[in-house]
Amino acid sequence: MKGIDASEIAHLAGVSRATVSRVINDYAYVKPATRERVLRIIEQHSYSPHFSAQILAGKRSNTIGFFFAANTGNRSRLEDTHVNFMIRQVINTAMSAGYYVLASQVADLSNPAVMKRIGDMFAQSRVDGGVFVGFPNECGLIEDLIDRGFPIGIFEQRLDKKLEPNRIVVNLDHMGIAEMVKYVAAAGHRNLIYAGPDLNFRQGVENYKIFRDAAELCGISPREDSILEVSTLSSDASGEAMEQFLKEGKALPGCIIGANDLVALGIIETLRRHGFRVPEDVSVVGSDDILVSQFFNPPLTTVHYDFDAMLETLTSKVINFVEHPFEKQYKGVWPGRIVIRSSCIAAKTI
């Protein structure tokens, strides 16, 4: 059955269609009696205004976008579990504020058509703001959206001179890497390797420097090949890097420190396939404390970060800006703490 439209509401109420539109959009200059009559007829006929018409009238969509970068051709169930957790947290936070979430996985950050589709969601007012996870530190799309005034929440971005109020950022305190180095050093490990991003990327350079500085403070001289470079922070990428390391016949370290848990878990799986035992032959630790890490075999020693609080804060701040734009940028940094499990044991003594 065809539903009633705004013209029929106007006819039944004895007013113009423009008056119906003003009532729907809560504009002023409508007599109280007229407003009451129109609203009563709307309720009687269960009329719901067309979403596109509301957007054209300048109303918010009450929807935020959640965009996460993930290579669908290079993902395991470990990544899926972590992504699902993030989506759930963003949706729960948005729903508690009366907002919907339009989630989109971005597989190819280099594809202009993909970037344009995301930009169009904002240009067409399908979303009021966005939360971005896993995007490069400097991303043209994000910078364009911020320049256009949209509230953009970014998980992990380090651009110290960018202070726009609608650039909302939460970061991990990567000094957790230093704390992990201190922990494994206290366990007697002196032969260390850091597995992390390619040194062509800023994050890779910064994190590797934290690793080396912390090692030197502990009296450790990192070996010449003290970094296992991974193309992406994924279990598949770290597994491939570990395969190549073993293929080249390099000497195994006493402990491998992964840039995140996915990297560490990919390394453990590869070592196991080659007959090595973790932690008896090689200790492996991570960072992030994602959900699966405590259930892995062996359970992973790692750096715990409060992802719940980070994603809740990021989503809430974007919604807050949509409703009441603030003048000062919000940038939060979350510290980590060591969680000791079974993947790292004391170094063997000779």
Each residue's pLDDT expressed in tens, for the chain with a length of 350 residues: 356 777 888 889 998 877 887 777 666 567 888 888 988 888 888 776 655 555 445 567 899 999 998 754 444 555 667 778 888 999 999 999 999 999 988 888 888 898 999 998 998 888 999 999 989 888 999 999 999 999 999 999 989 899 999 999 999 998 999 999 999 999 999 999 999 987 766 677 888 999 999 999 999 988 888 899 998 888 999 999 999 999 999 999 999 999 999 999 999 999 999 999 999 999 999 999 988 899 999 999 999 999 999 999 999 999 999 999 989 999 999 999 999 999 999 998 65
Q: Report angle CA 213, 331, 214 to the nearest 5 degrees.
A: 10
Backbone phi and psi for residue 101, each to the nearest 5 degrees, phi listed first = -125, 130
The pLDDT assigned to 154 comes to 97
Can you tell me the distance from the alpha carbon of 155 to that of 167, in angstroms, rounded to the nearest whole number? 11
Hey, what are 68's tokens? Answer: 């996460």
Written as one letter, the residue type at 319 is I
Domains and CATH numbers, the chain: 6-56 (1.10.260.40), 63-172+307-334 (3.40.50.2300), 176-305 (3.40.50.2300)
Q: Give the CA-trace dihedral at 234, 208, 198, 106, to 10 degrees.
A: 50
* Cα-based distances in Å from 249 to 210, 244, 255: 27, 9, 17
The residues, ordered by sequence, that sit 6+ positions from 266 with a Cβ below 8 Å of its Cβ are: 234, 235, 236, 237, 238, 239, 242
Say which residue the tokens 């703490």 belong to.
337
Backbone phi and psi for residue 225, each to the nearest 5 degrees, phi listed first = -100, 55
Nearest to 334 by CA among 170, 181, 93: 170
Q: Report angle CA 342, 207, 212 to the nearest 5 degrees.
A: 80
Considering Cα of 67, then 72, then 75, then 76, what sign does the dihedral take? Answer: positive
